[in-house]
Amino acid sequence: MMNTETERPEAAGAGPEADLDALKAMARTYGPRLALGAGVVLLAFAGTWAYKNHKAGAVRRAAELLASAQTMQDLETVAERYAETPAAPAALIRLAKAAYDMGRYDAAFERYEDFVARYAQHPLADVAALGKLHCLEARGQLEEALRGFDAFMEAHPGHYLYPQAVFGKARCLEQLGRPDEARIVYEDYIAAYPGSGWASRAEDLLGSMERRIAFGSGGAASWIPAEDQPVFEAFPAPAQSDE
């Protein structure tokens, strides 16, 4: 009686070792010339298989290191040693934010600039671009920061970081001795997004500026109190809608 059962295939994922055994059997059966041609194909497959497994391992290790990172050095390791993994951009942004928080504005600027150069199409590229402007403002390069905030607002009118750019513009104007223009920036935002969480923040910032003007000389503000400084998280998200 004829056996109608179909032959069961070998288990998937046997790996290059099984393929090399098959190549040896082919050489014994058909001779080395045919086996040589097949061997080129199998070796190429084996190399691809090994690369994919190595890459998957690197992605996993980088993610684990990022999740457990406690120091700047930990983040450096992820950003540099695992630069081709998805964890690297996140590590680089965290390095930049950490430097900014420590008052190391030059280092933070370089990190943000490095991010934009490496990952121009990454979803966090706009975070890095705005981070650079905050660094310019903190370094006292107010005119350059002001132009940057203006450009960001024009290019990203619906962006979740738009309010941060608006407030950055107002701060720069105040520090440049142009409080009337800063006032208009705040008031325009409040009018455009009434009742929103960010509008409430704009009202607070405007009131704080008015108190500084009343208390001070009414000229350029040489400093902005900590509570009015940019609230700029490493991974900002639109927690409140402006619509």
pLDDT at 216: 77
Q: Which helix (H) or strand (E) element contains residue 192?
A: helix 179-192
pTM: 0.69
Strand, coil or helix: 162 = helix
pLDDT at 21: 55
Alpha-helical runs (H) found in 82-196: 87-101, 105-118, 125-138, 142-155, 162-175, 179-192
pLDDT at 228: 56
* Residuewise pLDDT in 10s, the chain (243 residues): 444 443 444 444 444 455 445 545 544 554 554 444 444 443 444 344 344 444 677 788 878 777 777 788 888 888 888 878 888 888 899 999 999 999 999 999 999 999 999 999 999 999 999 999 999 999 999 999 999 999 999 999 999 999 999 999 999 999 999 999 999 999 999 999 998 999 999 999 999 999 999 987 544 555 555 555 665 554 443 333 333
d(CA 177, CA 175): 5
pLDDT at 51: 40
pLDDT at 10: 42
pLDDT at 26: 46
pLDDT at 136: 97
Spatial CA neighbour of 169 closest among 194, 142, 193, 191? 142
d(CA 5, CA 67): 51
pLDDT at 232: 54
